[in-house]
Amino acid sequence: MTETMQMEIPQDILAALKTGIQDFSQYMRVTAAIACFQEKKLSLGKAAQLAGYNRLDFLDLLAEKSIVAFDYDESFTESELQGVSRLAEIKP
């Protein structure tokens, strides 16, 4: 199921942006998806869906915009590094 949203955009705004309504609509979807993802309101998959992308393409888009996709805190990173170190020690 989907919902439809309507917005009134003055033509002079579109002219100033040098874009058409379809391109602007897609821009708004992508911008909203990125914002919701960064604010942790949507998961990666749901944000990608909102933007009209698959997950991998959305990850690529985030990377192009230098947006961190996986935000791990310091304790998680330290735990992972300790695990890797232990694995390196037992490697035959």
Question: What spatial distance separates the first Cα and last Cα of the chain, rounded to whole Å?
Answer: 54
Distance, CA of 55 to CA of 52 (rounded, Å): 10
Q: What is the pLDDT of residue 83?
A: 77
Structure tokens, 22: 């379809």
Decide: helix, strand or coil at residue 23.
helix
CA distances from 91 to 30, 83, 86, 87 (A): 45, 12, 9, 6
Domains of the chain, residue spans: 11-90
pLDDT tens figures, 35-87: 999 999 999 999 999 999 999 999 999 999 999 888 766 776 677 777 778 77
Alpha-helical runs (H) found in the chain: 11-17, 21-38, 44-51, 55-64, 74-90
Tell me if the pTM is above 0.95: no
